[in-house]
Amino acid sequence: MLLDIENLSLSIQAKGHTNKILDSVSLAVAAGEVVGLVGESGSGKSTTARAVLRLHPEGAQVTGRIQVAGISVLPGTDRDLKRVRSSEAAMIHQDPRAAFNPVRRIGDSLTERLVQVLRADRGEAHAKGLALLEAVGIRQPDRRMRQYPHELSGGMLQRVMIAAALTSDPKLLLADEATSALDVTTQAEVLAILRDLQQERDLGVLFITHDLHLAAAYCDRVYVMYRGCLVEELAGTDLFIAARHEYTKKLLSAVPTITARPSTTEATA
Amino acid sequence: MKRVIYRLLGMVLTLVVSSFIIFAAMYAAPGDPVTFLIGNPENITPERIAEVRAQYNLDQPLLVQYWLWASSAFTGDLGVSFQYHQGVGDLMATRLPATLALVALSSVFFIVAGIGLGILAALRQGRRTDSTVTAFTTLASSVPSFVIGLLLVSVFAVGLRWFPVSGAGDGFLDRIHHLILPALALAVGAVAIISRVTRQSMVEQLATDHVEAARSFGLSASKVVRRHVLRNSWGPILTMVALVVASMLAGTVVVESVFGISGVGKLLVDAINTHDFPVVQAVLLYMVVTYMVVTTMVDLVHPLLDPRIKARNKNS
């Protein structure tokens, strides 16, 4: 398995209380597989993804086992962690505007991992950055490299972030609400690009979203998360038809639809 | 371009208003400079008074006097000192090097210590080191600089004899040797301000997404601090450093008196005590100008640190 999480529990001590954020979460993502993680806000989706790169808050108590491409992150040495962070996995953050350093040029942020962490040659890193910007459909990549984040649109920045995630050729992408901050049209474009690159490079993707339609359409498998527990695992295509767990059904019934239901129209009329 | 013109106009306006206030304040000050100018009380006769008043234009209306003073000051002629009978410009020129050297050395001290302690506190946020730094710098800044000066003199100059007791020294190394204690006394209060601003600015940056993003791709902790946290904190730190330096240039009076350094601050105090108006006016004008120069320089450097400021300026 590319990503293997076993019995991951995470709790935070606050004022004498122990807040259990994650409770025995076990999930797996294979190479070439897009796995969805859905659930309401605060259910622990992001915390799970961040724990893969050991980005959980200071003072959190974490137990369980996490492996990425056979390298143990939890428990793991700092060296292994650095290897996973720099080369094996990459995170695509929710808010592209916040995830780029506002005072650095796009090119600098794009190649930072290659140059500063993997000690690649600057010229080579630059060339690779340009190629990846083209791969995510950005025109005039040379000019974009010299610009600052505030000079680019949100959709463009999110594509740059995907390019930045791919600079070190990782095998696993952690997409944390990667398209939630974008408008619908841009969202579709970015998702299409992500899909193309995923298939081209045979990437494993842990796709976190609260959009159930998107999860059903986009993911091979979907995990449903509720209060820090995984309550159900379904094939993406089965999400809307075969859900068995009470919470999943509730979640599905809460999805707003464009076709008005007769009962609600009557009630409001 | 438009911004530059507005900027320059603003500076001219500030100069005009502040110089007028300075001049009018002298005019309103108690005590008649005429008595001082004549000197010997036995010489004070109505004829002599009228003569002196005419000689120094003291018989003209305030606005005329201001115009005469301001127009010659504009051409670099700041008048003649009542006390020393020497050009005020020359007088300032002999006093400035000591003050500038004192402020420069003091700035090195408070910038290094302030930013260093600020970084330390930010990285140990909420732990014992953090609160120790805060407590220590607050305590140090609440002690007046002349007390610290006297303390330093009694320990390091009188007791240990490592440094001279007073004076500004001649030549580069001797000057630094003389100015270390006064510069320290001047720097202590500023360390608290700079360390606090550094800490706060860095703590804000530490919580941002781009810092976590940098961590998430394996950037080492020291590079995260240098390339992201500290790099993005320079704006507020630079502003504060500049304001402190500017106020130091105008606030060396006490330390210069304690350490017997004949700088601009000492010149001002002596001039006030002897009603030497041209000198007082010139020193106050120098303070206004240095403040303006320092703050303008900060404004020019800011867009280089944060490209978003340039964009904002363009739009407005």
Taking residues A175-186, report their average pLDDT. Answer: 86
A211: closest CA of chain B, how far (Å): 23
A14 touches chain B (CB under 8 A): no
Count interface pairs A-B at CB distance under 8 A: 74
Where does the pLDDT of residue A238 fall: very low under 50, low under 70, confident under 90, or very high at 90 and above? Answer: confident
Instruction: Report residue A174: phi and psi, to 5°.
Output: -110, 100
Give the per-residue pLDDT at A268. 44
**Spatial separation of the C-alpha atoms in residues A231 and A252, rounded to whole Å:** 14
B79, part of any domain:
no
Quote the DSSP letter at residue B252.
-
Give the per-residue pLDDT at B35. 72
Q: Where do we find the tokens 């100008």?
A: B289
- Which residue of chain A is at minimal alpha-carbon distance from B210? A99
| A91: chain B residues, CB-CB within 8 Å | 213, 216-217
Instruction: Give Cα B93 to chain centroid, integer Å.
Output: 17
Per residue in A146-172, pLDDT (tens digit) is 999 999 998 899 999 999 999 999 999
Residue A52 tokens read as 């893969």
Q: Which has more confidence, B168 or A175?
A: A175
Per residue in A44-57, pLDDT (tens digit) is 899 999 999 999 88
Q: Is B115 within 8 Å of B195 (Cβ atoms)? A: yes
**Does B226 lie in the same domain as B140?**
yes
B228, part of any domain:
yes
Per residue in A76-88, pLDDT (tens digit) is 898 999 999 999 9
Give the per-residue pLDDT at B312. 72
The answer to whether the CB atoms of A112 and B217 lie below 8 A apart is yes
The tens-digit pLDDT sequence of chain B (316 residues) is: 777 788 889 888 998 999 889 888 877 777 677 777 777 777 778 888 888 777 777 778 888 888 888 888 888 788 888 788 888 888 888 899 999 999 999 999 999 999 999 999 999 988 899 999 989 988 988 888 888 888 888 888 888 888 887 777 777 888 888 899 999 999 998 999 999 999 999 999 998 999 999 999 989 989 999 999 999 999 999 999 999 999 898 888 888 988 888 889 889 988 888 888 888 888 988 888 888 888 888 888 888 888 888 777 766 5
3-class DSSP assignment, residue B212: helix
B125 touches chain A (CB under 8 A): no
B208, part of any domain:
yes
Per residue in A113-150, pLDDT (tens digit) is 999 999 889 999 999 999 999 988 899 999 999 999 99
Residue B74 tokens read as 């504009």
**Does B294 lie in the same domain as B205?**
yes
Q: Is A239 within 8 Å of A55 (Cβ atoms)? A: no
**Angle formed by the axes of helices B172-206 and B128-142, to 10°?**
130
Q: Domain coordinates of chain A in residue numbers?
A: 3-99+171-268
**Does B103 lie in the same domain as B126?**
yes
B118, part of any domain:
yes
Taking residues A61-80, report their average pLDDT. Answer: 91
Where does the pLDDT of residue A58 fall: very low under 50, low under 70, confident under 90, or very high at 90 and above? Answer: confident
Pick the residue of B217, B222, B226, B309 with the most A CBs within 10 A to test the interface with A by mutation: B217
**Does B63 lie in the same domain as B192?**
no
Is the pLDDT score of A262 beyond 60? no
**Does B56 lie in the same domain as B154?**
no
**Does B112 lie in the same domain as B53?**
no
Instruction: Report residue A29: phi and psi, to 5°.
Output: -130, 125
Give the per-residue pLDDT at B316. 55
**Does B246 lie in the same domain as B189?**
yes
**Does B173 lie in the same domain as B138?**
yes
**Does B128 lie in the same domain as B23?**
no
B236, part of any domain:
yes
Q: Is A47 within 8 Å of A8 (Cβ atoms)? A: no
Q: Is B252 within 8 Å of B287 (Cβ atoms)? A: no
**Does B298 lie in the same domain as B165?**
yes
Instruction: Report residue B224: phi and psi, to 5°.
Output: -60, -45
B81, part of any domain:
no
Give the per-residue pLDDT at A212. 87
Q: Which of B16, B44, B74 is the last residue of a domain?
A: B74
H/E run at residue A231 = strand A229-235
B312 touches chain A (CB under 8 A): no
Quote the DSSP letter at residue A171.
S
Q: Which amino acid is at A259?
A: T
**Does B103 lie in the same domain as B65?**
no
B212 touches chain A (CB under 8 A): yes
Beta bridge partners of A67: A4, A72
Give the per-residue pLDDT at B5. 85
B82, part of any domain:
no
CATH topology of domain A3-99+171-268: Rossmann fold (3.40.50)
Q: Tell whether ipTM is more than 0.90.
A: no
Q: Which domain holds residue B12?
A: 2-74
| B230: chain A residues, CB-CB within 8 Å | none
Report the domain count for chain B. 2
Question: What is the secondary structure of A20-77 as a DSSP string?
Answer: EEEEEEEEEE-TT-EEEEE--TTSSHHHHHHHHTT-PPTTEEEEEEEEETTEEEES--
CATH code: domain of residue B206: 1.10.3720.10
**Does B190 lie in the same domain as B62?**
no
